[in-house]
Amino acid sequence: MQITFRARPARVALAVVAAGTLLAGAASGVGAAAPEQRSAGHHQPSEAEIRALFDDWNDALATEDPEAVADLYAPDAVLEPTLSDVIRTDRAGIVDYFEHFLLQRPSGEIDASYVELLGRDAAVDSGAYTFTLTDPETGEVSEVPARYTFVYERDTHTGAWRIVNHHSSAMPEG
């Protein structure tokens, strides 16, 4: 068993708050913000703005470019992927995962989303989504229902949202 601690007080506090929020439950809303609204300034984000970050991620998957997907993650993000037992803790690992995952031409659809705003520069979106995957060898299409948590942090210099933690796991009864 490997345990790694990083000296990131803000992220540790964010993770503690996010974990407490996830245990306590969160409310959800509906809507979407335009891309230019999502990256402009340091305003208080809306639940719709945070939810729309999934669309950006899903659009990056559609490019079939692992570098484009990895660009949405912070340089030291943690990815606990759906279809791998290996936890990725840096860009190279995240790119490696998506090099393989994107071969299946994934497309995700949110089934349930619960957003918790943690201030102007941090938010959590967790819930359930379904991936449609295509086997690259047979062309067979399958669906994988999964649970997810995206923890986002806004770059205070650029205003861009980055994924700092992403957990995804297939539904136990999926």
CATH of the domain at 159: 3.10.450.50
What distance in Å separates the CA atoms of residue 161 and residue 150, rounded to the nearest whole number? 11
80 in any annotated domain = yes
74 within a domain of the structure (yes/no): yes
Q: Which of 166, 160, 168 is nearest to 45 (CA)?
A: 160
CA-closest candidate to residue 14, choices 117, 89, 156? 117
- What domain range is 86 assigned to? 31-170
**In what order do the strands lie in the sheet containing 122-134?**
73-80, 161-170, 141-154, 122-134, 107-117
Residue 140 located in a structural domain: yes
Q: Is pLDDT above 60 for 83?
A: yes
Q: What is the mean pLDDT of the chain?
A: 83
Q: Confirm whether 164 is domain-assigned.
A: yes
pTM for this entry? 0.76
Report the share of the chain in percent with pLDDT over 90: 72
pLDDT average, residue stretch 107-128: 97
80, pLDDT greater than 90: yes
Distance CA 109, CA 111 (A): 6
Q: How many domains does the chain have?
A: 1
In a domain, 22, yes or no: no
- Output the pLDDT for position 142: 96
The mean pLDDT value for 9-13 works out to 44
Please give the Cα distance from 119 to 155 (Å, whole number). Answer: 13
